Amino acid sequence: MTPLTSWKDKALFTPGPLTTSRTVKQAMLRDMGSRDSEFIEIVRDVRRRLVALCAEPDEYTAVLMPGSGTYGVEATLSSVIPPEGKLLLLINGAYGERMHKIANVQHIQHKALSFAENVQPDPEALRQALDEDPDISYVAVVHSETTTGIINPIEIYGPIVKSHGCIFIVDAMSSFAAYPIDLKACGIDFLVSSANKCIEGVPGFSFVLARKETLLATRGFARTLSLDLLAQWEGLESDGQFRFTPPTHVVLAFHQALLELEQEGGIPARVERYRQNYEATLAAMLAFGFEPYVERTKRGYIITSFYYPDHANFDFKTFYQKLSDKGSIIYPGKLTHANCFRIGHIGRLTLSDVDALIAAISETLREMNISLPARVED
Ligand SMILES: *Cc1c(COP(=O)(O)O)cnc(C)c1O
């Protein structure tokens, strides 16, 4: 087997799990008791640091929930809406659709407002839906729809949701820590993200940033035992512990990742690095002749979808494999109406990784005998 010290993993240009720093991985080389004071102190610091990234600690709190990001979304939707509550879902991609599936499985009364994958949910349609149906008391939307890389304007939805007295739930899985989000200014009551996205930890838990007052008013609403958000919070607040076995190694890695976020210069520095990765990738892809799926003004810098080029020699599996053989992992598309693949810009990646990716794409296109006219964007 390859010894750890000479091991260079392939760079992950994906939506997660992402490339992490060596020191984040090394933080896991410990066996820590889940009820030990050292671990409890680390959990406390993780929760404190998460809130400090986006809100005032007397107004907001952080709940850690084992499982991937979807578990955090399901924990929130299934724990904070009472039987008589009605949820409005704004959908423009696979992750919005996933919330819809959760609402169905959990028997949450709901209404879905669906939009095409390349457009943002229309704020006027939101306003109208809330005006027309006073039973709606909750609104949920995805911030960065990782399906396409489109960014939905939560800062515009928030005030509309609040002016109708509704509770606002945001899946910010792939944008938290990569976009500055002010929870209060956006009127967010519950924001969900996970350990293995832009904080650059490893997979194993999700976290929910909750307005305390709203969370405390959800007693008795939980539809499950293990995903009960309020009960999980109460455990963390009372003795600092998870109710059930915590992913100790993952929490240690995440704590290290939060320290490294601070060392890098916080969210502004991370925004800058990801944006540079995106701009460099985009410029090269346009020069190669690839066409982005989402229009520039709506596109985020988290992940970009590109159409399969209209060329007889293009085959995604071959393209993917050749890039992988050269050390760069890209990602398939997830669209219902268009053939696309995706390139992520997040994780512990810098311009030198992007340069390696661009060189690999250039070589691969040559090997596949694909030559396309360059594109220009305004
Ligand atoms: C990654 C992601 C999720 C969670 O997916 P998991 O596979 O459960 O981690 C949810 N929503 C969005 C927008 C995501 O990018």
List the chain domain ranges: 4-15+266-367, 22-263
As a whole number of Å, the end-to-end CA separation of the chain is 50
Q: How many CB atoms within 10 Å of residue 226? A: 14
Ligand 1 mean position, distance from CA 99 (Å): 11
Amino acid symbol at 283: A
In tens, the pLDDT along 343-370 reads 999 999 999 999 999 999 999 999 999 9
pLDDT greater than 70 at residue 47: yes
| pLDDT on residue 3 | 53
126-164, pLDDT tens digit by residue? Answer: 999 999 999 999 999 999 999 999 999 999 999 999 999
Q: What is the pLDDT of residue 7?
A: 65
Residues paired with residue 140 on neighbouring β-strands, in sequence order: 89, 169
Query: Hey, what are 345's tokens?
Result: 């810009």
pLDDT interval class at 320 (50, 70, 90): very high
Distance (Å) from CA 31 to ligand 1 centroid: 28
Q: Residue 359: helix, strand or coil by DSSP?
A: helix
Contacts of residue 78, Cβ cutoff 8 Å, sequence gap at least 6 = 102, 106, 108, 222, 223, 224, 227
How far, in Å, from the CA of 81 to the mean position of ligand 1?
A: 21
The pLDDT tens digits of the residues spanning 1-30 come to 555 455 689 999 999 999 999 999 999 999
Q: How confident is the model at residue 336 (pLDDT cuts 50, 70, 90)?
A: confident
Calculate the alpha carbon distances from 22 to 275, 315, 344 in Å.
Answer: 23, 34, 20
What is the chain's mean pLDDT, rounded?
97
Nearest atom of ligand 1 to the alpha carbon of 206: 9
Q: Is 374 a residue whose pLDDT tops 90? A: yes
15 CB near ligand 1 (under 6 Å): yes
Q: Which CATH superfamily is domain 4-15+266-367 in?
A: Aspartate Aminotransferase, domain 1 (3.90.1150.10)
d(CA 255, CA 195): 10
Q: What is the pLDDT of residues 179-199, one digit of tens each?
A: 999 999 999 999 999 999 999
The response to whether residue 67 sits with its C-beta less than 6 Å from ligand 1 reads no
Q: What are phi and psi of 304, to 5 degrees?
A: -120, 135
Long-range contacts, 123-126 (Cβ 8 Å, 24+): 123/153, 123/156, 123/157, 123/160, 126/88, 126/90, 126/157, 126/160, 126/161
What does the block give as tokens for 191? 């924001």
Q: Ligand 1: distance of its center to the CA of 172 in Å?
A: 9
Assigned CATH topology for domain 22-263: Aspartate Aminotransferase; domain 2 (3.40.640)
Average pLDDT, stretch 203-227? 98
pLDDT digits (tens, 9 = 90+) for 291-307: 999 999 999 999 999 99
Amino acid identity of residue 90, one-letter, is: L
What percent of the chain is modeled with pLDDT above 70? 98
Average pLDDT over residues 281-297: 98
**E-strand stretches of 47-171:** 60-66, 86-91, 109-114, 136-142, 144-145, 150-151, 167-171
Q: Which residue owns the Cα nearest ligand 1 atom 5?
A: 69
Per-residue confidence band for 201, with pLDDT thresholds at 50, 70 and 90? very high
| CA 247 to chain centroid | 19
Q: With a 6 A CB cut-off, is 93 part of the ligand 1 pocket?
A: no
Tokens of 61: 């709190």
Q: How far, in Å, from the CA of 303 to the mean position of ligand 1?
A: 13
Q: Which of 342, 282, 303, 294 is nearest to 118 (CA)?
A: 294
Q: How far is the CA of 332 from the centre of ligand 1 (A)?
A: 15
Q: How far is the CA of 368 from the centre of ligand 1 (A)?
A: 33
CA 312 to ligand 1 center in whole angstroms: 33
Q: Which of 142, 150, 174, 191 to mutate to test the pocket of ligand 1 (most atoms within 8 A of CB)?
A: 174
pLDDT digit string, tens, across residues 238-269: 999 999 999 999 999 999 999 999 999 999 99
Could you tell me if 327 and 364 are in contact, meaning their C-beta atoms sit under 8 angstroms apart?
no
Cα Rg, the chain, nearest whole Å: 21
Nearest protein Cα to ligand 1, atom 3: 69
For residue 64, pLDDT over 80 is answered with yes
pLDDT of residue 6: 52
- Going by pLDDT thresholds of 50, 70 and 90, the confidence category of residue 337 is confident
Residue 115 to residue 272: CA distance in whole angstroms: 30
What is the sign of the dihedral through the CA atoms of 304, 141, 92 and 318?
Answer: positive
What is the DSSP code (8-state) at residue 67? S
User: Measured between alpha carbons, how far is 247 from 96 in angstroms, rounded to an integer?
Assistant: 27
Best CA proximity match to 46, nearest among 248, 268, 270, 264:
248
Residues in the chain: 378
Dist CA 91 CA 179 (whole Å): 20
Q: What is the pLDDT of residue 104?
A: 98
Is the CB of residue 173 below 6 angstroms from any atom belonging to ligand 1?
Answer: yes
Ligand 1 center to 200 CA (angstroms):
14
Whether ligand 1 lies within 6 angstroms of the CB of 17 is answered as no
Cβ of 92 below 6 Å from ligand 1: no
Q: Which atom of ligand 1 is nearest to the CA of 144?
A: 13
